[in-house]
A and B are shown apart, each in its own frame.
Chain A
């Protein structure tokens, strides 16, 4: 018996088994690298934007505000489309994977900028003063004193950003990146078993995200070895 009958639904077990590996492979080869690379570039953009937002120079602050507003005010799907389908009109051809990295990084940059800004502001002003009084420059204080303390505050919200990002990589399927979801889609094109294959895709996303939340918990414990309290 190759099919199990569940009311009206039949589960095609051989297909389920055979399709699992290619879908998972799409996850390991594209989804995860795409998420990690975009997150790293995204955090870099976010840090720069957060510093600009906090800068006393109005021009820098304005640029960061506009950037964050545009990223947060437009759908990621549209951002992807502009980069992959739109830029060629200007003579700029971008391959699918780098195109997805660019769009996702810029997107993370916009969202994480506000998280980083808020976590920098959460560090007591006295920490800046203590850094300055031992002779440090702005960037020395920022890097050695403020950011390590801000990191602790920003782990939970940034983990959420990363988990969202992992799921958002599925949108890269629309620009032909053969990541996890696109793999499932390709198999449905011949098997028409939508419920099964998309459920498999969902299961794999869920497993990935489950691991990430476990990782997040560990990181929070590690960063908790000191108490970032500056109360008298």
Chain B
């Protein structure tokens, strides 16, 4: 297992949003988390990058292990955090930096890569996501789809063990969604390990090795895309899927 999460609990002001979540993912696999809003799927994803601090449970990525029930040191947080990189629903690009600088920032500052090498790597990646003409633009000059592709390049540039996607296409106009999904499919083909929270079921079915359905802070069922989407076991899963499919 590349990542193992066990019995993760998290509450916000007394309300428990994660009620003991356990799962794992192997190197090179794609895991998609689906579920109604408020089910805790974004919270579990954010917990893997320690943007949320669970109160209980353990998280292990490669050899790094954290037990949330104990005091977690700052260096342990850094070590775990650097194993993964997050792509946000709202992009969260750095508005005062150009497209190129958004991607080189982590390389230069965190990974201490020499400037020239960082720029070379960033240009390569931005070229791959079709943004070569936009290198010197500022984020506010880009479309949503372009912003999200910068967000993906920024995460990939760090060469993390694990890419986390938090509803990466939810804020996009429908016609811009395909570009972003294509980039993500390419990453999956290249063998990146990815955990994706999304409502794009068709995409999920294509790209996922495993699908988790979450509801009300627990994992209700998990399995191959084939089982979850075509032979779901739980009534709640069936309801959820039919509601989403009707919407499309």
A residues with a Cβ closer than 8 A to B are: 124, 126-127, 129-130, 132-137, 140, 144-145, 148-149, 152, 225-230, 232
Contacts and interface: CB of A to CB of B under 8 A. Distances in A.
B134 to A, nearest CB: 14
Given A133-B86, A225-B138, A126 B92 contact: yes
Nearest to A145: B94
A137 to B, nearest CB: 7
Given A136-B106, A136-B109, A140-B109, A226 B140 contact: yes
Contacts of B154: 130, 134
B222 interface: no
A132 B49 CA distance: 9
Contact of B49 (A127, A133, A148): A133
A41 to B, nearest CB: 26
10 contacts: A126-B92, A133-B49, A133-B84, A140-B110, A148-B96, A152-B96, A226-B95, A226-B139, A228-B95, A232-B144
Contacts of B138: 225-227
Contact of B88 (A130, A226, A228, A229): A130
A228 B96 contact: yes
A136 B78 CA distance: 8
Contacts of A149: 95-96
Contacts of A130: 88, 92-94, 154
A135 B110 contact: yes
A1 B82 CA distance: 83
Contact of A135 (B78, B92, B93): B78
A157 to B, nearest CB: 19
Interface in B80-99: 81-82, 84-86, 88-90, 92-96
B140 A135 contact: no
B210 interface: no
Nearest to A152: B96
B90 A232 contact: yes
A232 B171 contact: yes
Interface in B98-151: 105-106, 109-111, 138-140, 144
A137 B73 CA distance: 13
B158 interface: yes
Contacts of B84: 133
Contacts, number: 74
A132 B81 contact: yes
Nearest to A124: B92
A135 B51 contact: no
- For chain B, the bracket of interface size reads 20 to 34
Interface of B: 49-51, 78, 81-82, 84-86, 88-90, 92-96, 105-106, 109-111, 138-140, 144, 154-155, 158, 171
Query: Which of B105, B111, B158: most chain A CB closer than 10 A?
Result: B105
B85 A230 contact: no
B197 to A, nearest CB: 15
Contact of B81 (A135, A145, A152): A135
Contacts of B106: 134-136
A134 B105 contact: yes
Contacts of A135: 78, 81-82, 106, 110-111, 158
A152 B138 CA distance: 16
Nearest to A137: B78
B140 A229 contact: yes
Nearest to A138: B74
B111 to A, nearest CB: 8
A137 B50 CA distance: 13
Nearest to A125: B92
Contacts of A132: 49-51, 81
Query: Which of B88, B96, B139: most chain A CB closer than 10 A?
Result: B96
Given A132-B50, A229-B95, A230-B90, 9 more contacts: A130-B154, A132-B81, A133-B51, A133-B155, A136-B110, A144-B109, A225-B138, A226-B96, A230-B95
Contacts of B139: 226
Nearest to A229: B140
A143 B84 CA distance: 23
A19 to B, nearest CB: 48
Nearest to B49: A133
